[in-house]
Amino acid sequence: MTGSDLVMYEEEFRKIDTELQKLHQQSNAKVVFLVDKNGQLIASAGETHDIDTTSLASLTAGNIAATGGIARLLGEKEFTILFHEGEKDNIHISLIGQRIILVVIFDSRSSLGLVRLRVKKAAEALGKIFEEITQKVEKEKGEGKLEESIFAEISDEDIDNLFK
Amino acid sequence: MSFINYSSREINCKIVYYGPGLCGKTTNLQYIYRRTNPGQKGKLISLATETERTLFFDFLPLALGDIKGFKIRFHLYTVPGQVFYAASRKLILKGVDGVVFVADSQIERMDSNIESLEDLGINLTEQGYQLEKLPFAMQYNKRDLPNVIPVADLDKVLNLRRVPGFEAVAVTGKGVFETLKAVARQVLFELKSHY
């Protein structure tokens, strides 16, 4: 079950952050963020202060899941790009490597064409980084390095403390 | 499937509340939301119909505290209980780390409980999970009603795995946090066994 847990390290996180900052800038977007298909927010860039990113992440994943369900009913593997147009803001959602969701929120300062172009480039770079992460986790698991992680010491008492 | 972030020192886990229609899944989340400090929770999102029946899912992010310097976050989801939302239920189970089955203790709902539990097993299998191996807790809800089945009988029929089972009255909060704690404990120990 946990074989496909997502693990994020400092080094890769910085690389992802750099890519997102670049995409945010080059696409003239308001906000750019990255979500795991299960709804966990991975990273974000831009004007996130007045946005509830946790809820947005969960709903985006729900959206992708529902669209994926529709795709399979129609005999498609997946719809890899979703686009919602609003009065002021628009949202461009794309799937990277079947696992990660890239979300770009933009207004009239940008355009769908520009966003699509920049997303395509960023997706390649991000896809590579996530491949690296997968390889790193596999390697460390193989070498048993992860055993010294925090989980080794979790006790009943720790869990009781969470619920005090 | 958990998300372990060494960069922000966070562990995110997904817990799904499953059960037949009107058994009290959303009520569980609403109680947890009311009783958690503002700093520990995000918004409770409900994608519901006009009559407040869950249409797609409810979502509540909880950050209960730290373990060894890592912030532990639980993302709680409910599924739509009504039978015809089967396709949506399946989607919400994606990436699940632990399941709470909320059973309706009333005699007339027993068939629905059994049907929903079987549905859970089928949907998990389709997602590549085995119910027998997943962190799992059972909640017998609505114990305050007059026409309820004795817990021993519910246990016999529904709780074949003998997982922790809790009597609950979700509207008043009885048993709600006990159930969450039981599944959270299993989820964290499951992580421990893998890492």
Find the radius of gyration of the CA atoms of chain B.
16
What residues have CB less than 8 Å from B38, skipping those under 6 apart? none
- Could you give the ipTM of this predicted complex? 0.82
For β-strands A90-96 and B45-48, DSSP reports them as unpaired
Average pLDDT score over chain B: 94
- pLDDT of A43 > 60? The answer is yes
Shortest distance between the Cα of A80 and any Cα of chain B, in A, equals: 17
Write the CATH number for A141: 3.30.450.30
For B119-140, write each residue's pLDDT tens digit: 999 999 998 999 999 999 999 9
Judge whether A42 lies within some domain.
yes
Total domains in chain A come to 1
Total domains in chain B come to 1
Helix (H) or strand (E) run with residue A93 in it = strand A90-96
Q: Using the beta-carbon criterion (under 8 Å), do B181 and A163 form an inter-chain contact?
A: yes
Average pLDDT score over residue span A88-103: 94
pLDDT of residue B78: 97
Which residues in chain A are closer than 8 Å to B190, comparing Cβ atoms? 1-2
Judge whether A60 lies within some domain.
yes
Write the CATH number for B99: 3.40.50.300
Whether A71 and chain B come into contact, CB under 8 Å, resolves to no
pLDDT of residue A66: 92
Q: Using the beta-carbon criterion (under 8 Å), do A66 and B56 form an inter-chain contact?
A: yes
Which residues in chain B are closer than 8 Å to A36, comparing Cβ atoms? 3, 95
Q: Which structural domain range is residue B53 located in?
A: 3-194
- pLDDT of A1 > 50? The answer is no
DSSP letter assigned to residue A57: H
- pLDDT of A75 > 90? The answer is yes
Q: Which structural domain range is residue A150 located in?
A: 7-162
- Cα gap B49→B43, rounded to integer Å: 18
Q: Out of B95, B177, B192, name the one closest to residue A152 (CB).
A: B192
Q: How does residue A149 score in pLDDT terms, banded at 50, 70 and 90?
A: low
Q: How does residue A153 score in pLDDT terms, banded at 50, 70 and 90?
A: confident
Question: A129: which 2 tokens?
Answer: 């980084």
Q: Using the beta-carbon criterion (under 8 Å), do A161 and B65 form an inter-chain contact?
A: yes
- pLDDT of A82 > 70? The answer is yes
Instruction: Indicate the range of A17-21, B5-9, B11-15, B33-37 predicted with least confidence.
Output: B5-9
For B20-55, write each residue's pLDDT tens digit: 999 999 999 999 999 999 999 999 999 999 888 999
Average pLDDT score over residue span A143-154: 67
Which residues in chain B are closer than 8 Å to A58, comparing Cβ atoms? 45, 59, 61, 75
Question: B174: which 2 tokens?
Answer: 């009885």
One-letter amino acid identity for B168? Answer: A
Q: Using the beta-carbon criterion (under 8 Å), do A8 and B4 form an inter-chain contact?
A: yes
Average pLDDT score over chain A: 90
pLDDT of residue A74: 95
- pLDDT of B194 > 80? The answer is no
Judge whether A63 lies within some domain.
yes
For B69-103, write each residue's pLDDT tens digit: 899 999 999 999 998 899 899 999 999 999 999 99
Judge whether A76 lies within some domain.
yes
Q: How does residue A67 score in pLDDT terms, banded at 50, 70 and 90?
A: very high
Which residues in chain A are closer than 8 Å to B6, comparing Cβ atoms? 7-10, 13
